[in-house]
Amino acid sequence: MAAVANGIKHLSTGDIFRGLSPASENGKLFASYANAGKLVPDEVTIQIFSRYVGGLIDTNKFDPIKGTFLLDGIPRTVAQAELIKNVVNIKHIFVLEIEDYSVITERLLKRATIEGRKDDTDESIVRARIEEYETKTAAVLSVYDPSLITKINGTGTPEEVFRDVLNAYIIIRQKQLL
């Protein structure tokens, strides 16, 4: 979990999964899916996510009354969107749009080199993830009211996209406070 801004914490399920001890049951389970280019099943994902969030609250690293999570990578399916309702209250959704999938493939291959991410080195795995997005993740948006969804151009640099998300968040937050 990384602090994004005052009271906002970036929480990435990918970071949570990669942070699991490889010797743990959850770590082994995650690795078996990631190494095959597959996503962890919905129930397992929410279970691990829920325990992680609970741990942050229990150890006083996050105050759910004062703080906000910027979720990254969750929910990925309609089932996760339903299951996560018991864990967090989704207030808004930012969708990073990239129409040219070669941009995504290029970024993941570069990330694999920089971060040593084995799960990003195989183009067929990257393509499988894109297909998974098209068939399952895109449908998540239908679960939520369209007024909760803001689309962001995801083709810029990571810094530009991050800036655009934060600016959109600030505008939305100001409207909610009025």
The greatest distance separating any two alpha carbons of the chain, rounded to the nearest whole angstrom, comes to 49
Mean pLDDT of 139-143: 94
Instruction: Quickly state the pLDDT bin for 29 (edges 50, 70, 90).
Output: confident
d(C-alpha 47, C-alpha 141), whole Å:
22
Q: How much is the pLDDT for 157?
A: 86
Q: Nearest Cα to 126, choosing from 102, 153, 143?
A: 102
Q: Where are the domains of the chain?
A: 2-177
Q: Is the pLDDT of residue 14 over 70?
A: yes
Q: Which of 68, 77, 69, 21 is nearest to 48 (CA)?
A: 21
Q: Which residue has the tokens 């990571």?
A: 158
Read off the pLDDT of residues 83-125 as tens digits, 9 standing for 90 and up: 999 899 998 999 999 888 888 888 888 888 888 877 777 788 7
Scan for tokens 């929410």, then name that residue.
Answer: 46
116: left (phi over 0), alpha (psi -120 to 50) or beta: left
Mean pLDDT of the chain: 86
Q: Which of 18-22, 28-32, 99-103, 144-148 has the highest mean pLDDT?
A: 144-148
First vs last Cα of the chain: how many Å apart? 29
Beta strands in 76-157 (DSSP E): 93-97, 149-153
CATH fold of 2-177 reads: Rossmann fold (3.40.50)
Q: What is the DSSP string of 3-60?
A: EEETTEEEEEHHHHHHTS-TTSHHHHHHHHHHTTT-PPPHHHHHHHHHHHHHHHHHTT
